[in-house]
Amino acid sequence: MKKYKIPVILYESEEQVIPYVEVEVGEEMAPTIFIQEYKHTDTFEPDENGDEQAVIDITMHMFVDMETLSKKLGEDLYDQVRVAFGLQPVKKARSEGQKILDKVYKNANSNLEQALTKKKNVKEDLAKKLNEKLTDKFYKSEEKK
């Protein structure tokens, strides 16, 4: 059985809610992480000195890397696991994700197209005005004769 370095769970800042684990060169991320939950019960019991101490229920949780599961399980079983966690099966999730990306790309392309059209119109307008000024400055118009 392969041994992994004990992961240290870090947070970028208080605003950054997604934690991360630093993995050194040559190391691998552990496929599972165990985290103990310490749940306060609002009850108290005396310790060996008779002092009241909070009673805390401790539960061990194991978190599994979905990428590892996708490589180790067959497609159907992996989809069953995803559904059990409240996720969509892979094909449906990819399809739904692609629809979202297509909409984002369409909006981005539309905005880019509008900006380029506006830029082109501004350039054409400036060129026209410059041409008119140069024409007025260097050439006598027929009306002025």
Query: What secondary structure does DSSP assign to 47-100, as a single string?
Result: -TTS-EEEEEEEEEEEEE-HHHHHHHS-HHHHHHHHHHTTPPPHHHHHHHHHHH
Residue 38 lies in a domain: yes
Residue 108 lies in a domain: no
How many structural domains does the chain have? Answer: 1
Q: Sign (positive/negative) of CA torsion 129, 133, 134, 136? A: positive
Residue 54 lies in a domain: yes
pLDDT band at 140 (very low <50, low <70, confident <90, very high): low
Kindly state the average pLDDT of the residues 17-21.
91
Range of the domain at 26: 1-64
The pLDDT score that the predictor gives to residue 142 is 57
User: pLDDT per residue over 60-70, tens digit each?
Assistant: 999 999 999 99
User: pLDDT per residue over 117-131, tens digit each?
Assistant: 888 888 888 888 888
CB distance 82 to 88 below 8 Å: yes
Residue 13 lies in a domain: yes
User: pLDDT per residue over 34-67, tens digit each?
Assistant: 999 999 999 999 999 999 999 999 999 999 999 9
Residue 80 lies in a domain: no
Per-residue pLDDT at 141 exceeds 80: no
The pLDDT score that the predictor gives to residue 41 is 94
Residue 143 lies in a domain: no
Share of residues in the chain with pLDDT > 70 (%)? 96
Residue 51 lies in a domain: yes
pTM comes to 0.56
